[in-house]
Amino acid sequence: MSQQSGAEIMQETILAGHYQLVKPLGKGGFGVTFLARDTHLPGTPLCVVKQLKPKANDDSTLEAAKRLFDREAQILYRLGSHSQIPRLLAHFEQEGEFYLVQEFIEGLPLNQEITTGTQKGEAYVVAFLQEILQVLAFVHRQNVIHRDIKPANLIRRSKDNKIILIDFGAVKEVRSQTNKSHDDYTQTVVVGSPGYMPNEQMAGTPYFSSDVYAVGMIAIRALTGVHPKEIESDSQTGEVSWRMLAPNVNPELADMLDYMVRYDFRDRYPTAVQTLEALQSLPLVTADSLIVTSRQPQSASPTEAPTILLKESPSLTNWRPKVPKRISKAPSSASPPLVETSTPPTRLTGSAPEAPLSDKPVSSPAKQENTTKIQGRGWAPSLAIISISVGLTFLVSWALLPRRSVYRDVYRTIYEDPVLISLLGKADRLRQEGKYQESITAYNQAIARNTQVPEAHWGKCYSLNKLSQPEAAFDACAQALKLNPKYPEAFSSQGYALHQMEKYTSALDHFDHALELKPEFAEAWTNKGVTLQALGNHTDALDAFKKAIEINPNHAEVWANQGAALWGLGRYDEAVDSIDRALKIDPNHLSATKLREQARQELGR
């Protein structure tokens, strides 16, 4: 590989025939970045071009750099669906040099906001943690470790003040744990930034909790005004000794930060998902309510944050965050948390869905798209976290899979083509059996036979949702809605897809649209409740669950969800009654059983 200087590359000006370089932006361990314009697009929008250019040019370094560069492209392609991660626009080779092209984020890096000598308040730090942990939880659920989280790799986007996580050049992808040995975790290039990189990462064995450590150190730097490299560690334990630098920090918040930066990775929160849960269990309230920043352009300065107070309460006297359990190397399952109905489209009449199956928990943290008021969270017993040991999270929501399918004789009332009817029946049967990839093949065959069949596009959408491919699912349902604009199941499935993408406000809009078309749509009411729970709105979530129960009182999952909403509102006796009702419907329901046991431990009954 040739080693051109930045000036030499600038002289070439144009890359791949349409990326016109404007100016150098910076240089990292394995690459040089440039600001560029895409001359092929209207308005020649700005983008970022990153060239692979390691500091050393020996064979081993070049090999490692190329491997990291390729991995960054693959990971960015997968993660770019998140609105707070730059999208990958292109990845190409030209004259022996390798390039990435990414979305340009206009804004200021947080190292200009979190500076040495300046102490931020608790409100700022809590707001920062809430936002970055939501983004990082998404990354961790994709089995990706960032490995270089620091203020310089976080940009406060100008148009909406959102924090954008950049520079995935150091990422490590954690593959399936089933067939991996511990030795697999030692074969990695040591990358990261001093002060934000924990000891196990310096040894070449990063874990998800290594990223949690980095976020914790950023928060500590903000509170203390001291760079992490300048903060001493206890000579006996190795723990970070930061509290004397910020002695007035609320002890509950300080305890949580201590767990984030434990010396032993096994004593930290396992992933950003559990860290976010711990943050949300703190007694955080606002003067009236917590205002979540809109994605629309704001006039607020980049450093503004919600006014958040740590509420004093007699209940807090002996409260401390739960000590994280010793953990595995993979985050908890990220199964879709919603009710993806498999009922036939509205134009095909039929009976109500049968009892659902599945007890997979939600692990999606909240992220808001528009200005949303979230009621302040008072302290509740630690059931609000739901301990990691049972694999549950606060929302306690399961993917409901009604077992009914559309029968061929129903299709015969609509279509005349016997081959098409057979393909639709086959696809529905495969979907009903949970063979989603095979069902997609059958639906595609039906679509190839007749593109004007909304049921085929919706069935494909459903199956893609169950395979955790929300973007493709959304598009498939869009095709169904083009053919049948009054298709409540398609709107609900689009809401399901949007929830998976953590676009909760848009998801609510789609569930509401489904309910306008079909007011007695129990699954849509349940989905709406789960999404409101994700936004922290327990009151409205409770109303949605009550409506779902009114329509179909025989879903154990909905009773358990209602119990979670009641618990979030501090109505513990009613919460227990609702969980007990779930177990009365299904005594062997695993997740409800675990939830009831935790309630028993917290309440002593």
Res. 204 pLDDT band, cuts 50 70 90: confident
Amino acid, res. 512 = D
- Please state the domain extents for the chain: 6-103, 107-316
Other beta carbons within 10 angstroms of residue 567's beta carbon come to 27
Choose which CATH entry (3.30.420.240, 1.10.30.50, 3.90.420.10, 3.30.200.20) describes domain 6-103.
3.30.200.20
Please count the CA atoms within 13 angstroms of the CA of 466 that sit on its side-chain side.
Answer: 24
Other beta carbons within 10 angstroms of residue 565's beta carbon come to 28
DSSP secondary structure of 276-340: HHHHHHS-EEESSEEEEPPSS---S-TT----EEE---GGGTT--PPPPPP--SSPPP----S--
Amino acid, res. 258 = D
Question: What does the pLDDT read at residue 197?
Answer: 92
Res. 505 pLDDT band, cuts 50 70 90: confident
Q: Do domains 6-103 and 107-316 have the same CATH topology?
A: no
Burial of 364 (0-12, 13-18, 19+ CB in 10 A): buried
The answer to whether the beta carbons of residues 345 and 458 sit under 8 Å apart is yes
Can you tell me whether residue 277 is helix, strand or coil? helix
More confident residue, 393 or 132: 132
pLDDT tens readout for residues 415-472: 777 888 888 888 888 988 889 999 999 999 999 999 999 999 999 999 999 898 999 9
The first and second tokens of residue 543, run together, are 């109303």
Output the CA–CA distances (angstroms, integers) from residue 478 to 11, 176, 428, 455, 484, in the order listed: 45, 32, 19, 12, 10
CA distance 280 to 131: 12
Question: What does the pLDDT read at residue 58?
Answer: 72
Amino acid, res. 106 = E
Res. 311 pLDDT band, cuts 50 70 90: very low
CA distance 32 to 50: 6
The answer to whether the beta carbons of residues 301 and 162 sit under 8 Å apart is no
CA distance 12 to 15: 7
CA distance 175 to 177: 6
The answer to whether the beta carbons of residues 361 and 530 sit under 8 Å apart is no
Identify the residue whose tokens are 């150190």.
217
DSSP secondary structure of 434-479: T-HHHHHHHHHHHHHH-TT-HHHHHHHHHHHHHTT-HHHHHHHHHH
Catalytic residue among 38, 148, 167, 586: 148
The answer to whether the beta carbons of residues 90 and 101 sit under 8 Å apart is yes
Instruction: Tell me the chain's radius of gyration from C-alpha atoms.
Output: 25
Does residue 503 carry a pLDDT above 80?
yes
CA distance 206 to 94: 33
Identify the residue whose tokens are 């909905």.
558
The answer to whether the beta carbons of residues 591 and 560 sit under 8 Å apart is yes
Res. 365 pLDDT band, cuts 50 70 90: very low
More confident residue, 267 or 390: 267
Check residue 339 and report its DSSP letter: -
Does residue 304 carry a pLDDT above 60?
no
- Asked which of 82-96, 166-180, 191-205 is least confident by mean pLDDT, the reply is 166-180
Residues paired with residue 26 on neighbouring β-strands, in sequence order: 33
CA distance 114 to 154: 11
Question: What does the pLDDT read at residue 69?
Answer: 73
The first and second tokens of residue 189, run together, are 């290039």
Class of domain 107-316: mainly alpha
CA distance 462 to 442: 13
Amino acid, res. 597 = E
Amino acid, res. 532 = L
Amino acid, res. 470 = P
- Identify whether 148 is a catalytic site residue: yes
The string over 43-64, giving b where at least 16 C-beta atoms fall within 10 Å of a residue's C-beta and e elsewhere, is eeeebbbbbbbbeeeeeeebeb
The answer to whether the beta carbons of residues 400 and 526 sit under 8 Å apart is yes
The answer to whether the beta carbons of residues 145 and 330 sit under 8 Å apart is no
Question: What does the pLDDT read at residue 337?
Answer: 40
Amino acid, res. 36 = A
CA nearest 361: which of 326, 386, 327?
Answer: 386
CA distance 167 to 172: 12
CA distance 419 to 410: 15
Question: What does the pLDDT read at residue 29?
Answer: 59
pLDDT tens readout for residues 547-576: 999 998 888 888 988 888 887 787 888 888
DSSP secondary structure of 582-598: HHHH-TT-HHHHHHHHH
Angle formed at CA 497 by CA 345 and CA 375, multiple of 5 degrees: 110
Res. 534 pLDDT band, cuts 50 70 90: confident
